[in-house]
Structure 1
């Protein structure tokens, strides 16, 4: 017996197992391009086999009881497709979580060292993404910025602010934890230097608080 034999559908199962491991460890695993491409090749093989089986059956006269192989191939193709969609949807949801974790700061998220959903620094997110996932994040960020500058332009609402603790005041006293350079605020440009304390409009610096540059005092 060949112990290296592999059944159709095994690769898709590996992909779902990887997504479950990512969820259980609360980490973003590297995009498995090799496995995804292997499943796509398997899909093409199954489609070729299915077409060959269908060519032997009169049109509109397919009886599942007489042709169980056709039903089997259709089921395997459908299952592989669902697994591929579930894997990619799972990753996109995690990317959106990471995006909001850093307060919508896409350059920070795609930098060499970024934050995790748990707020732990030092994770190289960019190296774990496929080119299409990077494009998704850029499009997602651009859409949100367009929405914020349009629909919310006249509202006292910060789209990228956290909602765990709703703000009570429009202004907040902050202390600079890390130098973040000159920031344009409602009262003009402010140069935030480490150790400095200042009273600013919350909406102007909320994203810096989320990213860990400022600390509310």
Structure 2
């Protein structure tokens, strides 16, 4: 039935939003939607819409009125764009969070997504380089507390702050300024208590 592949693609995108990583690109579903749109477009060019009056029920789908056919085509296009946009937004967020993708994660991306990722990383690096005095990857919400309690999740070695040197060994706790450890929290070395 027309539109089934697009529905499956949207459900896959919705499921992917709950996952920790970006899943494998749904090449088969995308190709089936493109083929369906091509078939619908070909029918639009060759079918005489007056035949629908004389068609029996089995031929109804092959003899759709032009506006219904265009509705299917438009919906399929919107579903494809929504799927791509949800994946690209996840990639954008990973770039801004300074998360490097492993080779396994890169293998799950489509060819065009890999090209997009390379260019986006280059663009963000250029902007961050020009504005190096501003932490563009920081949290947009203003902090509620200047000092916070943190627990060390992984050994991170020594860090130098305005108030001295801290040796971050696993399972130790500190009361530190938020700005001194924000990046370590984002990278998963520390957890705010």
Shift of 1:41: 1.2
Is the contact between residue 162 and residue 210 of structure 1 (CA under 8 Å) also seen in structure 2? no
TM-score of the aligned structures, taking structure 2 as reference length: 0.65
- The match for 2:53 is none
Partner of 1:35: 29
Pairs within 5 Å for 1:56-205: 69-100=65-96, 104-107=97-100, 110-111=101-102, 125-150=105-130, 152-154=131-133, 157-164=134-141, 166=143
Structure 1 stretches lacking a partner, 5+ long = 1-6, 57-66, 113-123, 186-191, 196-201
Pick the structure with more helix per residue.
2
Q: Structure 2: which 5+ runs fail to align? A: 51-62, 161-166, 171-177
User: What do residues 63-109 of structure 1 show as CA deviations (whole Å, max 9, x unaligned)?
Assistant: xxxx9611121111111111111111111122233344xxx3343xx
**How far apart, in 2, do the equivalents of 1:49 and 1:99 lie?**
43
Deviation at 1:129, TM superposition (A): 1.9
Other-structure match for 2:54: none
| Cα shift at 1:38 | 1.1
Relative distance call for 1:111 and 1:164 in structure 2 (3 A) is farther
Contact map agreement 1:54 1:70 (CA 8 A) in 2? no
Residues 43 and 77 in structure 1, CA contact (< 8 A), matched pair in contact too: yes
Aligned partners of 2:125 and 2:181: how far apart in 1?
Answer: 16
- Asked whether 1:212 is paired with 2:191, we answer no
Distance 1:19 1:137 in 2: 19
* Cα separation, partners in 2 of 1:94 and 1:69, compared to 1, 3 Å: same
- TM-score (normalizing by structure 1): 0.59
